[in-house]
Amino acid sequence: MPSPAQRLVAVVGAALLRDDPSSVLVSRRTGPPALAGLWEFPGGKVDEGESDEQALVRELREELGIEASVGMRLGGDLPIGDTAVLRVYVCRIVAGALTLVDHDEHRWLTAAELDDVPWIPVDLPLVPELRRLLA
């Protein structure tokens, strides 16, 4: 864990859901090399002075070209090494069309397809909870 003088960096991710069919958007990373080709919930770092929700709305606008509503948390805080923590929220698209900016592919996965992609390690613990949510 960080020393008392250090602050944990907050990172937010979106479990972006749609209803027909019931599915979640996942995005394939292009970097860094150790994570390239793995799939994740889109999102990013929370800037100083932002709430998790504000950061997620901004990140989804920048990364995906969409406007989203942010709902409940999915799971608890997930450590990213010793200096950061990931918080994932259930989200919905309210406007816009998906674009590729920081990723090379997006996919909508149903509950039955969640094991069809290799997840980044930090997101993997949320897959069982996500499966229940999509069922």
At 115, the amino acid letter reads: D
pLDDT at residue 6 in the model: 63
pLDDT at residue 2 in the model: 46
- Report yes or no on 2 lying in a domain: no
- Report yes or no on 3 lying in a domain: no
What tens digit of pLDDT does each residue of 50-104 get? 999 999 999 999 999 999 999 999 999 999 999 999 999 999 999 999 998 888 9
- Report yes or no on 132 lying in a domain: no
- Report yes or no on 135 lying in a domain: no
Task: Using DSSP bridges, classify how beta strands 9-18 and 84-96 pair: parallel, antiparallel or unpaired.
Answer: parallel
Closest to 63 measured CA to CA, from 88, 29, 24: 29
Closest to 63 measured CA to CA, from 117, 106, 4: 106
Helix (H, G, I), strand (E, B) or coil at 127: helix
Report the number of distinct structural domains present in the chain: 1
- Report yes or no on 117 lying in a domain: yes
- Residue 127 confidence (pLDDT) above 50: yes
What tens digit of pLDDT does each residue of 7-58 get? 789 999 999 999 988 999 999 999 999 999 999 999 999 999 999 999 999 9
Asked if 55 contacts 9 with a C-beta cutoff of 8 angstroms, the reply is no
- Report yes or no on 71 lying in a domain: yes
- Report yes or no on 92 lying in a domain: yes
- Report yes or no on 85 lying in a domain: yes
Q: What is the CATH number of the domain that holds 22?
A: 3.90.79.10
Q: Which structural domain range is residue 84 located in?
A: 9-127
